[in-house]
């Protein structure tokens, strides 16, 4: 670990619009390729009498990785002075969508590639919509192959106007359009001399301008209660509240609030299992805490600090769900929802829209979620639970849905629809 911050970026675009070439360029121009790789690929092209392509660099890397133990072909790594980047190449939509929706890996920003010469395609629209649906707020559009458009500003401006109009319809405000030629290296890592009319950032500079949500430890304190152990004897009735801190940190003496019950106390002691008593603990640590007062707490509650931004409490919320169940998810049936350590019976109360992960086709009329559908839905639990919106706190904003003892779906919470009534 070099201590640099890490950021996941997803790159999407119609086939052949130049995603692989953009990635190849980024890897080459930031010196992120293994030593000699660029020369080896160029030499192999020469021997085979075919012109060198930056996209081949990815193929060569994949071959190399394929001999290793884990193959994750859809991801590439490179870094700038500021950050380590993981770039997720998302034409294998299904895996990507599943990871995004279940929160297994989140992309914090997206690069949308459009070919200046060929113009906006149906897929360019679908990808824009997919990115919006997944809640990726930071989007930058790369208008690629500007060399084929004679590096003309009018062509760039026309495409920018047309695509901006489309993005507005789906509530996406792009952070910028960058005219590039991935093949020639214009505005990827180096400012292009061929487009003096453009005075915005290069792709690399734009990446460093994207913001990460900040570290987990700096977020509001969240500890989903896993277990409550009771120790009786020697007259003192001690309870240890155990769980893993998902975000933020907590110190001895801090006031705490449990949700949804609304019970309050303060921290008397903090201990990590197998280690001594501590003064504080932070995100990622499994801890047991004792409280200054004896209150009755159930597993499934969320321990927070009353002076931090508060989580949501509710029984009705809007969510994106990725359905992998063999049987479609229907409004007729009850399911189990697991969010953090909370378990609740849940019903699908409505479907707002669905995206078929196989072909990214959008529908606003479906009555059920089929296998591989991503659905924007309304869910209702039979009792209130505490959660966060996925956009604010990932770990406490995602859930899985269990159907017949099997995980059949995963999702993220987008909005609390419980009407804001306070249960405290």
Which residues form the interface with ligand GDP (CB under 6 A)? 13, 15-21, 53, 55, 144-145, 147-148, 181-183
> Which C-beta is closer to ligand GDP: that of 17 or that of 160?
17
- 399, 338 Cβ separation under 8 angstroms: yes
Looking at the Cβ atoms of 25 and 222, the one nearer to ligand GDP is 25
| Inter-CA distances, 273 with 244, 276, 277, 370, Å | 11, 8, 9, 43
Is 143 in a helix, a strand, or coil?
A: strand
Minimum distance from CB of 292 to ligand GDP (Å)? 59
Strands (E), 100-146: 109-115, 138-144
Copy the structure tokens of residue 378. Answer: 């309304």
CB of 186 to ligand GDP, least distance (A): 8
Minimum Å distance from CB 11 to ligand GDP? 9
User: CB under 8 Å, gap of 24 or more: what pairs does 51-57 form?
Assistant: 53/21, 53/24, 53/183, 54/20, 54/21, 54/24, 54/25, 54/28, 54/182, 54/183, 55/20, 55/21, 55/24, 56/24, 57/24, 57/27, 57/28, 57/33
| Phi, psi (rounded to 5 degrees) for 374 | -105, 120
Question: In the bound complex, what is the minimum distance in angstroms from residue 18's beta carbon to ligand GDP?
Answer: 3
Neighbours of 75 (CB within 10 A): 12
How is residue 354 written in tokens?
Answer: 């669905």
Q: Is the dihedral of CA 10, 15, 17, 22 positive or negative?
A: positive
Neighbours of 231 (CB within 10 A): 11
CA 256 – CA 290 distance, rounded (Å) = 11
Closest approach of ligand GDP to the CB of residue 123, in Å = 10
Least gap, CB of 323 to ligand GDP (angstroms): 28
Least CB distance to ligand GDP at residue 47 (A): 19
């Amino acid at each position: 670990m070099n201590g640099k911050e890490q950021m996941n970026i997803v790159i999407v675009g119609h086939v052949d619009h130049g995603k692989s070439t953009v990635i190849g360029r980024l890897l080459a121009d930031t010196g992120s390729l293994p030593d000699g790789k660029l020369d080896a690929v160029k030499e192999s092209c020469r021997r085979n009498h075919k012109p060198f392509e930056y996209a081949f660099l990815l193929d060569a890397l994949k071959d190399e990785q394929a001999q290793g133990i884990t193959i994750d072909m859809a991801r590439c790594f490179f870094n700038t002075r500021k950050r380590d980047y993981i770039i997720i190449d998302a034409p294998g939509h299904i895996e990507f969508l599943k990871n995004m929706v279940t929160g297994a890996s989140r992309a914090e920003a997206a690069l949308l590639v459009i070919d200046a010469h060929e113009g906006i395609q149906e897929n360019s629209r679908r990808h824009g919509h997919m990115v919006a649906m997944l809640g990726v707020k930071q989007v930058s559009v790369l208008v690629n192959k500007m060399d084929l458009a004679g590096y003309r500003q009018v062509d760039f401006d026309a495409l920018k106007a047309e695509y901006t109009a489309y993005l507005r319809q789906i509530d996406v405000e792009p952070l910028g359009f960058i005219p590039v030629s991935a093949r020639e290296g214009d505005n990827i890592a180096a400012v292009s001399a061929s487009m003096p009319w453009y005075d915005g950032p290069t792709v690399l500079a734009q990446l460093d301008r994207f913001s990460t949500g900040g570290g987990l430890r700096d977020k509001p304190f969240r500890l989903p209660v896993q277990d409550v152990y009771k120790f009786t004897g020697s007259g003192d009735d001690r309870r240890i509240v155990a769980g893993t801190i998902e975000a933020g940190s907590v110190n001895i003496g801090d006031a705490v609030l449990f949700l949804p019950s609304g019970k309050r106390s303060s921290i008397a002691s903090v201990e990590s299992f197998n280690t001594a008593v501590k003064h504080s603990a932070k995100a990622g640590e499994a801890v047991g805490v004792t409280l200054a007062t004896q209150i009755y707490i159930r597993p499934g509650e969320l321990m927070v600090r009353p002076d931090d931004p508060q989580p949501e409490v509710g029984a009705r919320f809007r969510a994106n769900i990725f359905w992998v169940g063999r049987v479609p998810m229907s409004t007729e049936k009850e399911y189990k929802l697991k969010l953090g350590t909370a378990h609740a019976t849940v019903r699908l109360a409505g479907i707002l829209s669905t995206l078929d992960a196989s072909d990214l086709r959008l529908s606003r009329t479906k009555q059920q979620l089929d296998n591989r559908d991503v659905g924007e839905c309304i869910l209702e639990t039979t009792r209130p639970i505490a959660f966060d919106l996925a956009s604010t706190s990932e770990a406490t904003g995602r859930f899985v849905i269990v159907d017949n003892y099997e995980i059949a779906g995963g999702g993220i919470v987008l909005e609390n629809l419980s009407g804001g009534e306070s249960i405290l």
